[in-house]
Structure 1
């Protein structure tokens, strides 16, 4: 879940978590330090309260501490049960005050259950330290199950005997009040600080989010081919501004590249058109040159016929026969390849016919099975209706039997039970027949759909069969044309052989006149071959220029998708 969050959301959560964690640590540390400070303050206050109480007693009552008649006195003043004295001192100190006679408290302002707490003796290490060793004690102590900051001071009689002790303690309510006020103040301050941090963080992240959103929109439009969007963040020097500047630079470079590509494709298309036109003109010129060479050859042949009495015609005829023989051999090779391809095509067509026939047979079988299934379904539905009718009649008979059994009284009870069972069986049969009817209805709908699909399949198979038949007929026509062409080529080859024989006979007769005519024929053939090569080259150039023009059009079309 955290992985799928947006970066700014993660950043906000991280910052809030960090601030809250630090605040919790700060509160814990502050609470500990404040508590420690308050406890120290309470301990010091308890000590000062103890000194105040001790000096107050000395100033108010003259004389020494003493035990008279088993009770504690300060001079002539009886301390036991003098609760007003304890309350006066407590009013001055604001804390707890207790005066002990030995371990027994004799007066105190501590009230438990609406009574002065003077029944519980002092115990523990603090009591042993004060009463046993005569030392003063400042610190925390357990007072009736509550930890308090206390101060103890032993009181001595005139002869130096410890007769009791004076106890003061800071009020826990005061400590709790101070703690509560300080913690409340700290929480309020932290809440204000957290609120300010949250406001600043939200403001900062929203600014970043809006800037990133603008950059994202520009990138999205660029991804769709629109480079016209401008980012206003590129003037800033932070990371987002640097990214925007880099994007703008990339956009400018791509725009320049696309402009160059568009211009180059236009130039390429124009050049390819010019090249195509030039190659066409060159091809036409080559054809005219070939025609001119042919006219020259004819003139040379006429001149040779006039001057050499037929030698030139014989040599020209020989060259033509040889060229025709080469063409015939080439055509024979092509015809053989076409025949082989024809045989393969006929084999594939025959195989396709067999598979189409098999497919038609399977389709017919499936259609027949579906039809039979439909018929059986209708029969089952009819039988189910009969069962339902029988069950209804049986139910009616069972009802009549129950009525008759009721009329018969005790004698008809057994018959009544049987009639009830028959009625239940009839109801179950009726229910089952309804379920069977529902199933049969669903099955009928599905078989109807299957039948419709099989009709569509049969129609497609018929169309396929017609296409295969048409293809087979076409292959047969091609095969017949190839055979006719091969027969014609054979006749042409035989004619060439016959003409070649006649040529040899004439050459043997006119050997003395053949040298000049052979030289002229050879020169004419070389020029003709060169012209043919030039024509073929012009055709290749024209084809390449057309391909180049097509590529230029594709390049222009792709470049036009970008807007800049």
Structure 2
């Protein structure tokens, strides 16, 4: 039984089914993916704009807080009272009044700005007693905290501290804006100014920001900790996405990226806050963005089902119109192949290719029937002729055998003579060829000896030149070692100069320190000189660093020169051994040259002897060639006669075989034609 998969109808059905279903499926999937990507890009752009606007609001808030710190620094009430507080002659009551004036002034800033939780001035160090502090007891030992050191390292620059649930100085659930507080009148450091800001200020600045259903907005610090979140429990926790790994810190720009949070695909949008280096980050589930595109996926499934049903219907029509008629013609052809030439198809009424195929099949069967009828008649005639030809061929074969026996005896004697002559001629030719090889080999050997002799002379010359150059190299190495030792002495002198420059740098630092002290004593009049002294100190530090670098380089040069001297000292005995080896090789080359001169003379004598042998061999070869030619001519004549006889015998035998074969073919053809029904 035939495999259904090999059927033409099944194959056509599968092709139609696969083509239609796959086309609909591909178009649906592409439409879904394209629409999903377009929606995602549009939402990403809109979300990015929203985040940028929110960032601008937070940036404006931080800038306003920075302006408050500048106002406090330039406030004359604060400056004057901070200076007055340091007066040693001031009574305790007056100090209390002075501190209260500073404290009231700071509270006025808090009362005038609802975003501020509190404003504090903390001494620069715990042991400073002449600087007014707004609170007597700090919440923690702030002097050991990293954020306090960060403010001090800022040296007057604004520092933004992320939200802390415990607070920084006194309040809780605040973020802070801080800087080193300098008195604008005395230019002295009065302490650390800390503005504790309510977390609600960030919420008010962001407003009702949303980038989609299920989205979340966060403000994340440079340490990847959450500064603001609608969920208070998230504050100070690490953000679930490592922003440092996602964002290039050398080129901080806003943008978007895809991420997975708790096995859920999110689209994240971020924008940096220029004032603080924080990030406003928004994340929205991608599934919520593209849920409208799911309709395309459902429609695709429906269209695939419809396409499958359509493909089944089209496949049934194809099988009915094409596959069944072809199967019928196949069955008729198989019946005709078994010998029944009377089969005919009935689909000749159709005007398409199937009808044309049916008409062609019927015409083919008519032609085959006619051909078998004519072949049957011809086979009977051939069978009669084959019997007559077989009798004539047998008689011719008998006569040819008798002629061949007589001719073979004549050819046998002539062949023996030709064989012996040929053997002698071959031996002579072989000797001549070997003598020629000897001559050629002798010529090649003589040329090779001449080349070896010339090469030996060149080798002797090269060895002499090599001995000279090796001696020169030895002198250069000795000179190089002396120069490296002198250079090592020079680097020692450089080190002495560097020590002198180091002492000068130390003295410059001392002078700079003294100038700074004098400038501080001069007060406001010595500010300019203090800047000059500070620059001199920096220049002295840079000079000291440069001197240290030069000292390290000089140290490396001395070490490398010492290693170079050691290597040259080790190489010098090796060069002396090399000179001795070169001299020994020069002696060996001279001995080889003498022996090659004697060998060349002997080769010339051998060449003359071989040339005489070659001349004698040419005469012998000519004589054997004449004898061989005569013997071959006699043998050729006898062989020609024998060949003709053998050929005639072969033709006679072939005629007999052809006759027998023709008779067998005639019988076979008759038997084959009997299988067909006409």
Q: TM-score, normalised by structure 2?
A: 0.30
Instruction: State the structure with more CA Rg.
Output: 1
Higher helix residue share? 1
Q: TM-score, normalised by structure 1?
A: 0.35
